[in-house]
Amino acid sequence: MSKKVLVISTSPRKGGNSDALADQFIRGAQEAGNQVEKVSLYEKTIGFCRGCLTCQSTQHCVIQDDANTIVQTMLSADVIVWATPIYYYGMCGQMKTMLDRSNPLFSADYQFRDIYLLAAAAENEKHTVQGAVTGLQGWIDCFERARLAGTVFAGGVTSVGEIQGHSALTQAYQMGKHV
């Protein structure tokens, strides 16, 4: 069955390493017949959550910016894929900001079930991605019907384009195919 897949590329670097993972995931998911939408945060204006909690009663954020449109797309997606660079052993600030801004979904009838994480980092150790996994899991734990369905980690890549030929690209493609 065709699924609505939303891929959120959060790196500030256009065409960077995690963005390349996102594109491979998309290629796989599209080939498998799914309906895929990609959102790149580097071209969006997204302010920090103000913590007012107005969204708990209104299901809308008081800030008028691009996050609102993204949250509406998240609401009706079956699958959400987060692509992030590792910054200080965690997800990048852009991704965390977007997770916080998705708080209007907390009390909404969201559709998403499977959540994926795609991450790239300079270091190539197992623990390098762990902080990002834990951070995303913390968000997922607040959405009972959702689960972390898979993680792809590309370690040992620093500059834009360095990921070329990395086995994680194939893993991301395969994960997309079986979404």
Ligand X SMILES: Cc1cc2nc3c(=O)[nH]c(=O)nc-3n(C[C@H](O)[C@H](O)[C@H](O)COP(=O)(O)O)c2cc1C
- Does 19 sit near ligand X (CB under 6 A)? yes
The CB-of-108 to ligand X minimum distance in angstroms stands at: 29
Please choose, out of 34-42, 50-58, 59-67, 116-124, the segment that lies near ligand X by the rule CB under 6 A: 116-124
The CB-of-123 to ligand X minimum distance in angstroms stands at: 3
Q: How far apart are CA 41 and CA 95, in angstroms?
A: 8
- Phi, psi (rounded to 5 degrees) for 146: -105, 160
- Does 49 sit near ligand X (CB under 6 A)? no
96 in Cβ contact with 135 (< 8 Å) = yes
The CB-of-142 to ligand X minimum distance in angstroms stands at: 25
**Residues in CB range of 149: below 8 A, 6 or more apart:** 79, 114, 115, 116
Instruction: Out of 121, 152, 172, 175, name the contact with ligand X by CB under 6 A.
Output: 121
Q: How far apart are CA 32 and CA 1, in angstroms?
A: 10
User: Is the Cβ of residue 93 or residue 148 nearer to ligand X in the bound state?
Assistant: 93
